[in-house]
Structure 1
Amino acid sequence: MFDGTVPAELGNLVHLVYLNLNSNNLTGELPKEFSNLINLRELRLSSNNFNGKLPSFQSCKQLRILELEASGFEGPIPSGISLLHNLTEIRITDLNGGASEFPHLENMKALTKLMLRNCNISGPIPIYLANLSLTLLDLSFNRLEGHIPDFEGAIYLQTMEINGCPKHLPCPKKDGYSLHINCGGGQTKIGNTMYVADESQGGPMTWQAAGNWGFSSTGHFWDVNANAAYYQTKNVSVLTMNESQLYTSARLSPLSLTYYGRCLANGNYTVTLHFAEIVFRDNRSFQSLGRRIFNVYIQDELVLKDFDIETVAQGVDKAVVRKFNNTVVKIKTIEIRFYWAGKGTRAVPNRGIYGPLISAISIESNFKPHSDQRKKIVIVVGAVTFSLCLMFTILFIFWRRRHSGSITSREQELRGLDLQTGLFTFRQIKAATNNFDDNNKIGEGGFGSVYKGILLDGTLIAVKQLSSKSKQGNREFVNEIGMISGLQHPNLVRLYGCCIEGNRLLLVYEYMENNSLARALFGPKEWQLNLGWRTRLRICIGIARGLAFLHEESRLKIVHRDIKATNVLLDGDLNPKISDFGLAKLTEDDNTHISTRVAGTIGYMAPEYALWGYLTNKADVYSFGVVALEIAAGKDNMKFRPSDQYVCLLDWALVLQQKGCLIELVDPKLGPDFDKEEAIKMIKIALLCTNPSPALRPAMSAVVSMLEGHLDIQDLVMDPSIYGDEYRFRPLKDKYDELQLQSSNEAQTHTDSMVTTEIGSSSTSTK
């Protein structure tokens, strides 16, 4: 029952091997002195209220058990956890904050228990998990996708939890208007209301259906040899509350318990939930120290957070009734979920009695059932209304076609989409750009020309003309634009809308007053901006945040493919915004393999992408590392060669790293007025991002944490010969020359994009 922060003095206990701080009320961040506990074998910090990023504990190489269930920490799961090769058990659940990639655990040969539940993990389930000696595996409530690996050969695996989706059964023709369930008990009548029995046994993966309702239970009691009896409970003392029949039994779960009311008429309902703590005691003994804390969701909306029955009722064996009015049923189904988010006690008073508990559920409609006559009236009125709407729609389309000439199929399809942006006509674009006057042309990029424009309301815009060489179908193209327009983040250039008329493909973006980062750092002197160190660090962090959003946080995961200083634009306050995200896919021809259409820029492309066409978001991480070096040095990666011994800025940085004098890389224009430690840190992070092996590059969310000082930087000194050696570097150029020969038209446009400014540029560029 401790509260407050963990004292830093714990770090002095360097011989400590076992530390259990579970089920307290501890807050704050773990002290950095924790890295001194190099002899720890077991660390348990579950059910607390810590904040800050989840530590990697990478200095604790002897760790066998790491337990962080509902600890309060923020994700993502740090990449440094892969260095803890001696772990036999990992339990990490309910992380706040950013998304995570699946951690690299392939070298943890001793791992037998793995729980990564509700950690916002995306992507596929690694195949190597089937080769580990796992006995228990819980990956439930994440954002995993793809196929589940074949665990047939995993002879030790006893329990595997991936998700808990229930089956869907057909409904009878007649809708229901109420439902009453005595959870975990027999049929019971209260007044004139009959509560149906719910006596079926539960289990770690259970789905039970009974007419117009059902329930699913997921979760395994990890620390006990549980049987079906653990999933139901009976009262252990005499109950004296009203309607005590509802509280003599209850259903519980170690993780998630969901009740479904099915075949209900659509409309508003009142949901009443009955609770009573009939397991814990208040007899001033060890038995009274148990805490049951869980969340309740109705129709996927959180209605009770960190709900503690005993605390609310002010004692055990006391009823707690919670009513929720105006619960909307739209598709004839109501879903009530009780979810254990890792808080409370798991071994007090006994192991295996934690998790949500519910005694009874009542669902009543807030409206009267429709009579057959009223249904007929509604049907007739609906049919008449539909007919009128259809007629007016046809007349409007006919009028629109006569007055607007010809509306192309692409524009028609576009009108059917909710792009969350504006639909501009070609006439509006012409007026805004003064008929695409050359004086308003501000760039010539790989995707087409860029013009500055002014809307009637005074809004400045940048209009990008897409080259009309895409062979995508109308619907696919419009869908792509719609998905891109829905991605909004402070560090992404905002897409206001588009214009699709005939063969014209135009995108309308926000105008960026300070042009590109490339021009501000190493453009012509008259265009360069005086960027101080704090501004450069803020720009670097902003770019990292934008990429982390594209890779891990947005609903549509995007690999940019062409991160470079010219594709980072600066607004009036010098805030960085990434441009051209998602456009590489729009200009790909049909049936063109990625290896013959590399959408990137030499000098920024990751080796595995340039040489073999292997594309993941780690390619963007590599490109970001190059841009971060350019920010620190104020120099163009490909144009900077201090001597014939060096290929590029990155090559020079690697040599300086080996010599231990990275500070020489910092832009001399900064003078002495900059934070040397922060500069060295940024350069080290940049070099970490440009590791030749994509597996060793950090995720962008981890890069953000490192830049902000929330995560330690892993020192990794690389051999500069990987960039300077003719044998290693030559294939990159050969591959690039090959691409130019294969598609001269595409390559010429692509080459232009390497050296030209992008959206929001204020002048045309030269090769």
Structure 2
Amino acid sequence: MGAQGCWAMVIILGLLLQPQFLSSQNLTCNQKDWTALRYFMDNLTKTLEGWTTNSSADCCEWEGITCDPPSAGRVIKLVLPNKRLSGKLSDSLSGLDQLKTLNLSHNFLKDSLPLSLFHMPNLEQLDLSYNDFSGLIPESINLPSIRSLNVSANSLKGSLPSHICVNSSGIGFLSLAVNYFSGNISPGLGKCSSLEELYLGTNQLTGVVTEDIFQLQNLRRLGLQDNNLGGKLSPGIANLSNLVRLDISSNNFSGEIPDVFSELKRFQYLIANSNNFSGGIPSSLSNSPTVSLLNLRNNSLEGSIYLNCSAMVTLNSLDLATNKFTGPVPDNLPLCRQLQDVNLARNNFSGQIPESFKQFHSLSYLSLSNSSLHNLSSALQILQQCRNLTALVLTLNFPVETLPDDPNLHFEKLKVLVIASCQLRGSIPQWLSKISSLQLLDLSWNHLNGALPPWLGSYRDLFYLDLSNNSFTGEIPKSLTELPSLIHGNISLEEPSPDFPFFMKRNESARGLQYNQIWSFPPTLELGHNFLSGPVWPEFGNLKKLIVFDLKFNNLSGPIPENLSEMSSLEILDLSHNDLTGTIPPSLESLSFLSIFNVAYNRLYGKIPSGGQFQTFPNSSFEGNNLCGDHRFSCQDNTSEHVSPKRSRKNKDIIIGMVVGIIFGTALLIGLMYLFVLRTHKRNEVDPEKEEPDTNDKNLEELSSRLVVLFQNWESYKELCIDDLLESTNNFDQANIIGCGGFGLVYRGTLPDGRKVAIKRLSGDCGQMDREFRAEVEALSRAQHPNLVHLQGYCMHKNDRLLIYSYMENGSLDYWLHEKVDGPSLLSWETRLKIAQGAARGLAYLHQSCEPHILHRDIKSSNILLDENFKAHLADFGLARLILPYDTHVTTDLVGTLGYIPPEYGQASVATYKGDVYSFGVVLLELLTGKRPMDMCKPKGTRDLISWVIRMKMENKESEVFDPFIYGKQHDKEMLRILEIACLCLNESPKIRPTTQQLVYWLDKVTSLSSV
């Protein structure tokens, strides 16, 4: 055969073999694998798009499936994260015996993990994190090929599965975090000799860390945070020669930090805040050339701070706040060339900011609040040299010094400046006008005086200004009505490192202790408690982004401008205690977000608006004026037209004549009475003994006003008096404040026998005579129920009205859901349900069993307090007003909080039991979602929690509203049922809402759903 014939034969053979070759490249998946995937699919509540039960379908082409052609089309990868899968995990997946990767993370799969899943010989990566799996990890585990195992963020419980390493020694990544594993860490993890990352945080682990963990020489990251681990931190940590990051925060470790970190040549991050460490910073840390972040906040460390910055060449973030460090502020910190974030607040330093800080060019965030510093002038001269300084907090230092007015001071990049609560004297200096980048300025609680400079309105980015509690005079600069950031918004403040808590919040007191994250601040103009005069400018209506506008306790005059109704984002407007005249503009009814409005003690007259939010404001917001309104102050007493200045001048002579006549008549009457007394005196001798009871009555009245009335009649405290309460609260020291509500501040007090109580110091005029006050609080004391905060006693002394309550160890539900950083993760679904059930029982008692019946009128998460066992107790009930027995509504003193107020309260001044039910429904949504009822920092479509939840429910997206810390963790039916109950409570028609008795019944029945 010739050459051409040979080539022809080759071509023909190629054509004949081509279909067979192509088929080998497109083999359908193995029948065994197809069967396993079908059963997996059958256990899901929804079929995956593109997956089918057709036996002729090629599963290798399904989404998330990867097959390996050389091994006859066997499935080697099943990767379906974030697909909203729900249902159970079928043990049929063990039939995929060639599977190397299984990733079903971030779904809603539930129930227990199949035993067969832990016996797959070729499985290398298993990721089931962020699902709803429950139960125990199987005792028998054999995953010889496993390299990465992640079951974090589920509801797995029992002992920590340290036995996982017996037959899976090659594992390199293991995460068991955010579950409910409890008890001691048993030995066994040390057998995972290849382990590089181990995460056990946010469980319920106790005891000490087993030594075999410190034998993992390949370990790079170890997370043990948010447990109850204790004892001393083992020096065996030195064996972790490759360790990069260690997080042991929020545990109970004690003793000194072991001085072994010099053995860790790659170590960069130590997060050990919120423990009980004592002693000093170990030398191996203070000389570490590799450490980038050092967080030892909130311990009991002491001594002087020494860091060898010549060696610490990579240190970027330093947080040593809330310890017991003494001596001077360390002067060598500028030598840490990479150091940007420094928090040294709340220590016991002495002296002043060192001169060396002039060379601190890397510094960006600095907090030295409450550090006993002096010489503010020197501090500012030095810190202005920090050319990258962005935020500076110096609160509670420099007592009774003068705010420097050095024209040469200049902070080029400063965005945040807080020098509050320092009792500083002087005026606002001109050098502040040169800080063009300033966004937040707080000089509150000082003794500053003089006029407010017009250039305060020239800041392009200023959105938060607090100059309250000073002695400023003159008019409010009109330029403040032109602040661009309050007109157009676009506020963006750079955030420091997530591990750096930069504390700051508007001062509620001169101690300035209530701080929060900077970027959560509401746009604010706070000028209250000064001596400002002149008008409230109509142009303030331009500030459409302003949320807090507080001008109380000044000498402002003129009318309340109608234009304020254009401040569409306003939530707080306080104009009380001024000299304002005219009427309250009805246009303010359009401020739909307004939750606090106060114009008390001005010279206003006329009718109080009744639309919008106005029906929710208490009478105390309007007292001290000549105002009237439906169901408030009687308009019959104010029917005469308010006297204008012109009319006043016309009647001047008449008024003078009347005054003279009254004086003459009074003098004549006094003279006649005097003659009558003389005659009576002659007829009757005076018995001196008969005068004594009058004197004794006065003394008794004064004494009784100082005594504390305790309803339980504790014998040991029968002579407890106001002095004891003053001593128990350290004279109502701000450090003892544990709550602040619409009725006043709440202080922690310790009685002589050590018993803790909560003392509410009512704010403002109680509006009642002593006898009425006694009668009302005694009626409140009779409200006794396990889910109420018990009113144990009261005291009246001069103008003070004090209520004594049981002390709740765990604070409020609001604190755990919205304030405490790790609060939501610590509130399990079981705990949240128990809180809802308890609060409902307390409310039902107030509505139906208590005599007289009590309408709460301010149900919200901050009024649900938690004892040491997280049992719910309703607080602040009945303080608005008691209603008569068996009445179903009350028409005076409507109160409430934005986000919790039922819609009908804006239409008629009628507060009802069904209004309380509505507010309770909002609390249920908070428990389910972990979100606040109103969040002005979010986009408009998601600001209102109720509207958002209802919209998601209509779109069948209920699962997306639930707090990821709790959703589906074995309790999906229960949570969906609670959502239904909440929506019934939130019905716009009060008649459709359930009674509190129904609520208690339904909530108690919810737990039976988990067994259905």
Give TM-score scaled by structure 1 length.
0.38
Give TM-score scaled by structure 2 length.
0.29
**Relative contact order, CA 8 A, sep 6+: which one is greater?**
1
Mark the structure with the bigger radius of gyration. Answer: 2
